[in-house]
Structure 1
Amino acid sequence: MEIRKATEQDIDAILALNRQIGLIHFEQAPEVFCPPSPEERGFLLAAIGAEGRLFCVAVDEGRVLGFLTARIDINESVPFLTKLPICRIGSVVVDEGHRSRGIGKALIAHCDEWARARNASQIRLEVMSFNERAKSLYESLGFTRQSEIYAR
């Protein structure tokens, strides 16, 4: 398996993966997530081409099996928050038929290297409370709960 930068040629595979995770999120939290839509193509293509962001894919035998997006944020406006660079993972998606095979771990390890090269002091991500499998993966990789979001 290879982790590499996503390209526009990967878009159909990325859309299929995004649809998998999008349907699960929509079913579990329709008050937060919309069902997958054709608008996602343009959004994801823009993300692939965005400067200064990470958009990588896990590829095996020419097939995209997962992807990860991330960016570096630096607080410049809130005086009581650190000004250190923070890597924020936006999405980690692995094909339903290929989960529990180390693909998510490999994507996060790649992100960790990318973040370290940009002097990030931390890697942060948000996971929905219903996503037990993802929470288990992140905890096994040393992530700890830092905050919780409440909604009503």
Structure 2
Amino acid sequence: MSNQVCAPALLIRKCSREDAKEITALMRQLRYPTTVSVMEERLAACENHPHFRNFVAELDGEVVGTVSLRQLQTHDMEQPVTRITALVVDENHRGKGIGKRLIHEVESWGKRKGSQELFLSTGDEERIDAKPFYERMGFECSGYRLYKTLE
């Protein structure tokens, strides 16, 4: 009789349009209104784009987290920067290091693409509870987010 313990296997991989159903469910946990068909279209549009990347975290074959990235460079930047546009870990799997692993993958991708800075916006007050996580990951709060609705 063996006393081996089988630890869950966490895999971080590039996301594809086949992950649309799972990504939609995760985004709904952040209260982003979307449908599977809309998510499929968005993932397909970004799938091979050089400045966009989506990763998923799989735990024993189940998608339990995702992160979406966009690299950008404007005329006033010497180097491109990488922006996290969305990051979510399934509410039943938070606190297990999955978000940390996703951030490490983001950092690696950004560095490979020539970025020297990583940034994000936590959005409204409902999502401010994510701020301590990002601070533990080395992010610093800088400035304010301003927006204007175009009519």
Q: Same fold (TM over 0.5)?
A: yes
Q: Which has the larger radius of gyration?
A: 2
In the TM superposition, residue 3 of structure 1 has moved relative to its aligned partner by 0.3
RMSD (CA atoms) = 2.0
CA contact (8 A) 1:47 1:55 kept: no
Relative contact order (alpha carbons < 8 A, sep ≥ 6): 1 or 2 greater? 1
CA contact (8 A) 1:8 1:48 kept: no
Q: Tell me which residue corresponds to 1:46.
A: 44
Partners of 1:47 and 1:110 in 2: CA distance: 21
Name the SS of the counterpart of 2:105 in structure 1. helix
Q: Deviations over 1:22-58 (max 9, x none)?
A: 25xxxxxxxxxxx444663244333552411211000
Instruction: Give 1:88's aligned amino acid.
Output: R
Q: Tell me which residue corresponds to 2:60.
A: 61
CA contact (8 A) 1:127 1:135 kept: yes
Instruction: Give 2:44's aligned amino acid.
Output: A
Name the SS of the counterpart of 1:116 in structure 2. helix
Inter-CA distance 98–127: structure 2 relative to 1 (3 Å threshold): same
Larger % of helix: which?
1
Percent identity between the two aligned chains: 31
Name the SS of the counterpart of 2:30 in structure 1. helix
Q: Which runs of 5+ in 1 are unaligned?
A: 24-34
Partners of 1:150 and 1:114 in 2: CA distance: 28
Q: Tell me which residue corresponds to 1:108.
A: 103
Q: Tell me which residue corresponds to 1:139.
A: 135
Q: Tell me which residue corresponds to 2:81.
A: 86
Inter-CA distance 122–108: structure 2 relative to 1 (3 Å threshold): same
**Matched positions, count:** 137
Instruction: Give 1:45's aligned amino acid.
Output: L
Q: Tell me which residue corresponds to 2:4.
A: none
Q: Which runs of 5+ in 2 are unaligned?
A: 1-9
Query: Structure 2 length normalisation: TM-score?
Result: 0.81
